[in-house]
């Protein structure tokens, strides 16, 4: 007999298929809530098991992280690189499950996990000045918890790259849709929307270390390797005069505890020369990632596109 009362998986899929993306997303949110009730210790053990499985099966996450470490840390010997690779997968799996739990809890409960905040006055002063503020938040530590902290200080527009599926996009809209958060798709109309937010004195949050489409960025070194990098953040800063703050929520200890940091970005990040601006941006992201490389998102194919005319092929 098939599971689900005699109804096979194809029949279940057939019943789900006609559902709207919004309804599918609501079901996924409900499933996420079930995962979110697990105690932190259990959740982290589950993450450790997922990381071990990635390594054992040489999953995509394992392969991409290993290749990125070969490119970014050529000075490490094989044993050092494998040790870092193991830590990265463990942290990545934990962070993924951790985020699902954060999405299912009241933001106030999540903010209690932040043990220290350094630089909050910089953010508050920038908002109070009325000229807008741009937050550059690398994929380091837990950026979703950072989003919730920023939203606790007032409205913020967050740029995001929508998933390919409509259901995935609807899911993000629901779980990230806390008070004061406006999600802006990283598409052509984004620049106009963000420009208006900044001109109105609002806050904009950007994850600046994702690879843009070919032709939409500039190449600059990132851990010693040329990486196609976004110019959106620097162009907004240069044209609006809004200050840029670097922000990250760094994991401490072995449990759910974090320290939040906010620092002013160097003036060169808003340089009129896009190459100089992107070089500054990448240097700052690298500086933050080097604080604890295991907390950076090395499972992302950062170096897929290569400089025109270089003759290089994708390293993945």
Q: What is the pLDDT of residue 70?
A: 98
Q: Is the pLDDT reported for residue 5 higher than 60?
A: no
Q: What is the pLDDT of residue 186?
A: 82
Q: What is the mean pLDDT of the chain?
A: 93
Q: What is the pLDDT of residue 17?
A: 61
pLDDT digits (tens, 9 = 90+) for 135-146: 999 999 999 999
Q: Is the pLDDT reported for residue 6 higher than 50?
A: no
Q: What is the mean pLDDT of residues 194-218?
A: 94
The answer to whether 72 and 223 are in contact (CB under 8 A) is: yes
Q: What is the pLDDT of residue 257?
A: 97
3-state SS of the chain is CCCCCCCCHHHHHHHHCCCCHHHHHHHHHHHHHHHHCCCHHHHHHHHHHHHHHHHHHCCHHHHHHHHHHHHHCCCCCHHHHHHHHHHHHHHHHHHHHHHHHHHCCCHHHHHCCEEEEECHHHHHHHHHHCCCEEEECCCEECHHHHHHHHHHCCCEEEEECCCCCHHHHHHHHHHCCCCCEEEEECCCCHHHHHHHHHHCCCEEEECCCCCCCCCCEEEEEECCEEEEEECHHHHHHHHHCCCEEEEEEEEECCCCEEEEEEEECCHHHHCCCHHHHHHHHHHHHHHHHCCCHHHECCCCCCCCCCCCCCCCCCCC
Q: What is the mean pLDDT of residues 306-310?
A: 96
Q: What is the mean pLDDT of residues 247-268?
A: 96
pLDDT digits (tens, 9 = 90+) for 89-99: 999 999 999 99
pLDDT digits (tens, 9 = 90+) for 149-191: 999 999 999 998 888 889 988 999 889 877 899 999 887 777 8
Per-residue pLDDT band for 255 (boundaries 50, 70, 90) equals confident
Q: What is the model's pTM?
A: 0.91
Largest CA distance in the chain: 67
Q: What is the pLDDT of residue 128?
A: 97
């Amino acid at each position: 007999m098939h599971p689900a009362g005699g109804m096979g998986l194809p029949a279940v899929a057939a019943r789900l298929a006609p559902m709207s993306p919004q309804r599918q997303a609501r079901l996924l949110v409900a499933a996420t809530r079930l995962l979110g009730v697990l105690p932190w210790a259990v959740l982290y053990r589950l993450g450790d098991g997922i990381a071990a499985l990635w390594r054992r099966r040489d999953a995509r996450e394992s392969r991409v992280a290993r290749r990125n470490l070969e490119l970014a840390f050529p000075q490490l010997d094989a044993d050092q690189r494998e040790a870092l690779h193991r830590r990265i997968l463990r942290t990545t799996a934990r962070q993924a499950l951790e985020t699902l739990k954060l999405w299912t809890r009241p933001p106030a409960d999540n903010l209690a996990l932040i043990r220290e905040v350094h630089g909050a006055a910089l953010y508050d002063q920038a908002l109070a000045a009325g000229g807008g503020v741009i937050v550059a938040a690398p994929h380091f530590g837990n950026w979703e918890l950072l989003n919730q902290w920023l939203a606790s200080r007032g409205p913020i527009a967050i740029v995001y790259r929508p998933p390919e599926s409509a259901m995935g996009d609807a899911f993000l809209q629901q779980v990230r849709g806390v008070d004061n958060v406006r999600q802006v798709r990283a598409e052509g109309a984004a620049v106009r929307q963000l420009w208006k937010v900044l001109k109105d004195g609002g806050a904009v949050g950007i994850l600046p270390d994702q690879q843009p489409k070919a032709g939409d960025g500039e190449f600059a070194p990132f851990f010693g390797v040329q990486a196609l990098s976004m110019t959106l953040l620097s162009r907004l800063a240069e044209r609006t005069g809004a200050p840029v703050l670097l922000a990250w929520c760094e994991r401490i200890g072995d449990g759910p505890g974090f320290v939040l940091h906010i620092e002013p970005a160097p003036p060169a990040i808003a340089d009129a020369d896009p190459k100089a601006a992107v070089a500054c941006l990448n240097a700052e992201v690298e500086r933050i990632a080097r604080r604890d490389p295991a907390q950076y998102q090395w499972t992302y194919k950062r170096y897929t596109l290569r400089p025109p005319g270089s003759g290089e092929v994708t390293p993945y």
